[in-house]
Amino acid sequence: MQAALITIGDEILSGNTVDTNSTYIAEKLKNIGIKTVQIFTISDEIETIKKTMKSAFEVADLVITTGGLGPTRDDKTKIAFKEFFNDELVLDEVTFEHLKQLLTKRNRESLVDLNKDQAVVLSKATILQNFNGTAPCQMVEENGKIAICLPGVPFEVKPFMKNQIIPFLQEKFDLPFIETRIISVVEYPESLLAKDISSWEDQLPKPITLSYLPIANRVKLKLTNVGFDLAKIKNELQIEVDKVLPIIKGKVIATNYEGIEDILHDLLIEKNLSLSVAESCTGGALSQLISSVSGASQYFVASIIPYDYQQKIKILGVLAETIKSKTVVSEEVAQEMSFGLMNLFQTDIALSTTGVAGPNSDEFNSEIGTVFYSIRVKDFEQTFRLFLPHLERKDFMSFVSQKVLQDLIAILVKTA
C-alpha cells in the first residue's frame, strides 16, 4: 500500500515552520508497511487542495492531509474535502458533545459557540475524536481509496496517528512488515565507502534496498527489507549485515539505531558508566541530545553550561591563568573543564566543549567556528578540535553535539 501526504498551510511555504508532521506520519506508516511515495506542501486554497488531492490519489491509495482545520478563517481544508467528494457538511452531534466536554474540562465553556463549526463534518466521513484539540479527524473511503484529514498541530497529529489511525489501518489492511537495519560508519568518506562496498551492494537480494544517510561525520547505511514473514526478513537483513561488516570493520560504531543518543544509551547501560557534561559553545544542545532518550537518568548525572567564561573558573575550577595565556577557546581550557567536571560530579565520563558558534566572536576574538572538546573516560582523556566556519549557529551546535557523542562512542567501542 502506498501513501501520499498533503501538508496544508502557508506557514510552511513561507519558511516559518518546519514540517515535522510529515516526517512523523511517514515514519509511523512505514512501521506498519505503508510506503509514503510523495509529500505535497501547498497553500490554504480550496482549488489547490482539490487539485493536489487528485494528483495524490494518482500515486497512492491512502492520502493524509494535515492542517487547515483551525477555527480561524485562513483554514479551508474541510470545504475542499466536501467539494472533492461531492458531499455535504452536517453538524455531528457526537462530535459536538465531545467538543463541549473537552472545552468544559479546560474551563473554556464560553468558547463552545465559537468552536461549534469544528463539529460540522462531511456526511460520508467516519469521525475520530480529538482529545487534544478542537478539530476532529475525518476519514472518507471511496472506491477502495481512503482520505484522512488531520489538524496541523503536531501534538494533535501524533496521538491521532499513534492511537487511532495506525490501529485502524492495521486492522483494515493486510500489510507487510518493513524492517530496517542501520549500520553507523565513522571516519569513512561517503564516496570511498560506496566504492568499497559496491560489490556487496550489487548482490543485495530483492527487495532489500540500501541508502546512505550522512549526519555529522557519520554515515548511516540503512538497509530496508519488506515482507509478510517478520522473522524471515529480519534474518535476511542480518545475513547482509554479517556480510558487509568484515569489509568496513574498524569503522563501525553500531549496527542498530538511528540516533547517536540511542547508541549511547545502550552502551552506557551495558558498561554501567555515568556521564556529565560541561558545555559552553553548544549552549545546551549536547545535554539535550543526551537527555532526549527516555531512561537517560540511568547514566546522565548533570550538566554545567558556563556560558559566561567566568563560570568556567568558578564552577569548574578552570585556571584563570590558563584562560589568560591560552584564551577560552583552547585545548587546555577544554581539558581543564572536563577535569573539573569529573571531580565535581564524580562521573565515569566527562565531556566538555568550548568554542565560538558565531556569527559574532567572543571577547577573546576567537576564530568563529572553532571548537575544542575534551572526552574524559576515567583515566583516559582526548581532546579534539573542529573548525566549522561554514555552519550557522544552531547547525554548529547540533553538529558538534553529534560529533562529541560519535567520538565518545568510538572510544568506548575501541576500549571495550
Q: Which of residues 290-309 bind a copy of itself (CB under 8 A)?
A: 290-292, 294-297, 300-308
Minimum distance, C-beta of residue 41 to a copy of itself, in the bound complex (Å): 4
Q: Which of residues 175-204 bind a copy of itself (CB under 8 A)?
A: 189-192, 194-195, 201
Task: By CB under 8 A, tell whether 226 contacts a copy of itself.
Answer: no
- Which positions from 268 to 287 touch a copy of itself by CB under 8 A, shown as an x/- string? ---------x-----xxxxx
In this structure, the number of other CB atoms found within 10 A of the CB of residue 55 comes to: 14
Q: Which of residues 109-148 bind a copy of itself (CB under 8 A)?
A: 110-111, 114-115, 131-132, 134
Task: By CB under 8 A, tell whether 25 contacts a copy of itself.
Answer: yes
Q: Give Cα 165 distance to the centre of its chain.
A: 21
> Which CB atom, from 311 or from 382, has the smaller least distance to a copy of itself?
311
Q: Which of residues 341-400 bind a copy of itself (CB under 8 A)?
A: 345, 357-360, 362, 390-395, 397, 399
Ordered DSSP codes for 277-299: EEESTTTTHHHHHHHTSTTGGGT
> Which CB atom, from 73 or from 86, has the smaller least distance to a copy of itself?
73
- In the chain, the N- to C-terminal Cα span, in Å, equals 44
Q: Which of residues 311-340 bind a copy of itself (CB under 8 A)?
A: 311, 315
Task: By CB under 8 A, tell whether 236 contacts a copy of itself.
Answer: no
Minimum distance, C-beta of residue 36 to a copy of itself, in the bound complex (Å): 5
Strands (E), 22-125: 35-42, 62-66, 89-91, 120-122
For residue 256, what is the enclosing H or E element?
A: none
Q: How far apart are CA 199 and CA 248, in angstroms?
A: 13
Strands (E), 311-369: 349-355
How many residues form the binding site for a copy of itself (CB under 8 A)? 105
Confirm if 185 and 255 have CB atoms less than 8 A apart: no
> Which CB atom, from 130 or from 335, has the smaller least distance to a copy of itself?
130
3-state SS assignment for residue 147: strand
Minimum distance, C-beta of residue 88 to a copy of itself, in the bound complex (Å): 24
Minimum distance, C-beta of residue 124 to a copy of itself, in the bound complex (Å): 26
Q: Which residues contact 401 (CB under 8 A, 6 or more apart)?
A: 282, 285, 286, 288, 289
Task: By CB under 8 A, tell whether 80 contacts a copy of itself.
Answer: no
Q: At what angle do helices 77-84 and 46-59 cross, to 10 degrees?
A: 60
Task: By CB under 8 A, tell whether 265 contacts a copy of itself.
Answer: no
Select the span of 83-91, 141-149, 166-174, 211-219 touching a copy of itself (CB under 8 A).
Answer: 211-219
Q: Give Cα 109 distance to the centre of its chain.
A: 36
Place of cell 512505514: 30
